[in-house]
């Protein structure tokens, strides 16, 4: 699944570690989501949505 996580994080000046702390996950998890190696669970997707103040659909894009 494609996502805008890296761009959104960069716009806020956050490191992967900063975002990981906000989400209560490891930095490696953030990296895996950003690179498309891991799709987050629905509860984690909602936490990501809340952190950025966006809908899940605005962050995660359907892959082709």
What CATH code is carried by the domain that includes residue 28?
1.10.260.40
Q: Could you report the per-residue pLDDT of 4-47, keeping only the tens digit for each?
A: 999 999 999 999 999 999 999 999 999 999 999 999 999 999 99
User: Residue 62: which pLDDT band, with cuts at 50, 70 and 90?
Assistant: confident
* 4-24: burial string, b at 16+ Cβ within 10 Å, e else: ebeebbeeeebebeebbebbe
Look up the domain containing 39 and give its range.
Answer: 2-61
CB atoms near residue 45 (< 10 Å): 17
- Predicted TM-score (pTM) of the model is 0.91
What is the reported pLDDT for 64? 55
């Amino acid at each position: 699944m494609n996502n805008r996580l890296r761009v959104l994080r960069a716009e806020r000046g956050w490191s992967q570690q900063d975002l990981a702390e906000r989400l209560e996950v490891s930095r490696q998890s953030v990296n895996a989501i950003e690179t498309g190696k891991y799709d987050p669970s629905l509860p984690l997707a909602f936490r990501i949505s809340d952190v950025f103040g966006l809908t899940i659909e605005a962050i995660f894009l359907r892959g082709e």
